[in-house]
């Protein structure tokens, strides 16, 4: 039978492991979202000012579009 301190150590270890996994998962999600924002911004930056205007955007709108905050 495990002693109280061994059980407590396992529980603390499990909590720490879960916390590390949560942080790692969160960082992966944030990194992927940042990559997607950069990709959107880069693709929109390839358009000419005229093409952007035809779409109803200006070059200054690109950061907010990429971030998903653009409102007309």
* Span 22-52, pLDDT tens digits: 999 999 999 999 999 999 999 999 999 999 9
* pLDDT surpassing 60 at residue 65: yes
Where are the domains positioned within the chain?
4-67
pTM above 0.85, yes or no: no
Exposure of 64 in the CB half-sphere (CA atoms within 13 A): 9
**d(C-alpha 27, C-alpha 58), whole Å:** 32
């Amino acid at each position: 039978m495990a002693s109280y301190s061994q059980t407590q150590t396992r529980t603390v270890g499990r909590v720490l492991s879960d916390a590390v996994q949560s942080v790692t998962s969160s960082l992966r999600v944030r990194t992927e979202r940042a990559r997607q924002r950069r990709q959107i911004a880069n693709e929109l930056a390839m358009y000419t000012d005229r093409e952007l205007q035809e779409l109803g955007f200006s070059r200054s709108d690109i950061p907010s579009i990429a971030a998903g905050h653009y409102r007309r």
